[in-house]
Amino acid sequence: MSRRAPGNPEEGRGHQPPLDGAGRPAVPAARGDGAPRHLPSLLASLCERLPEDRTVEWERALARASGPEDPSLLRFVAAQQAAGLAERLRQIVAAWRREAPGMPGAALAFALATARELPRPLPAVPVVTGPLSPATPARLTSSVVLDVVRSAKSSLLLCSFAAHGVDSLMTEVAAAVRRGVQVDLLLEETTRAAAAFSGLPPEIRIWHRTAATGVLHAKLIAADRHTAFLGSANLTDRALKENIELGVIIRDTAEVAPLVDHFQWLIAPGTGLMRLA
């Protein structure tokens, strides 16, 4: 399950109040001297931003750190490839340095693990490609797409009008097939999108519309029945990394399951709406 954690920019880069998991200004906990404390809310909201396996990675990195200045921790932060995520992780280190510099990393790791185990509603999260402004508590399209594919355990459904140049996505889809995931690709035939997936295992099913009019223009990636990514981005290298695109990731089974059911109905043999490529 993927979670998110927006917050305020690192010191010296302009002030913005930290945000909670729904993108609203977070109410900081009070310190013993009455001053607000942002570190607890930053740790809790991190769990809402990251998939569980990535959160566990951060717990391990924190547990190894003796304090906020530990070189191993700073290297871990610097190694994060998603610019928005790296910035928010720096905010946690900055808050740790300001508010509890004597606290060992193991204590923060324990707090993060506790927050990860707490049941909580997960809001829809904005996802973007293109420039990230400080006002946008969003995740990057390229990283979200891969996270959703990795989270699939039994079924994976991808819809796209166009597709090409997505080697990293193909690698993850192939890995999903190897772990027993049924993969269905619903692609627009006129754009020759299926050619982008020609090197994938034969177990993958590729579907085209049977109708002569209209096109398949939907963009969807759904993992099992628990997570879905909807947006403007096609499955192309430019759409995932360079264009200005906008989407949303949903992690509510009550919302995702009907979407999956709809597209499974579209490819059901009895409807005659889609055919195998």
For 20-72, what is each residue's pLDDT tens digit?
444 444 434 444 444 447 888 888 877 777 777 788 888 999 999 999 999 99
- Is 60 exceeded by the pLDDT of residue 261? yes
CB atoms within 10 A of CB 35: 10
0.75 exceeded by pTM: no
- How far apart are alpha carbons 233 and 114 in whole angstroms? 35
- At 218 the pLDDT is 95
Question: What Cα–Cα distance (Å) separates residue 57 from each residue in 35, 73, 130, 163?
Answer: 31, 12, 27, 32
- Is 80 exceeded by the pLDDT of residue 86? no
Which strand ranges, in their side-by-side order, compose the sheet holding 139-140? 139-140, 125-129, 245-250, 227-231, 220-223, 155-160, 182-187, 205-209, 274-276
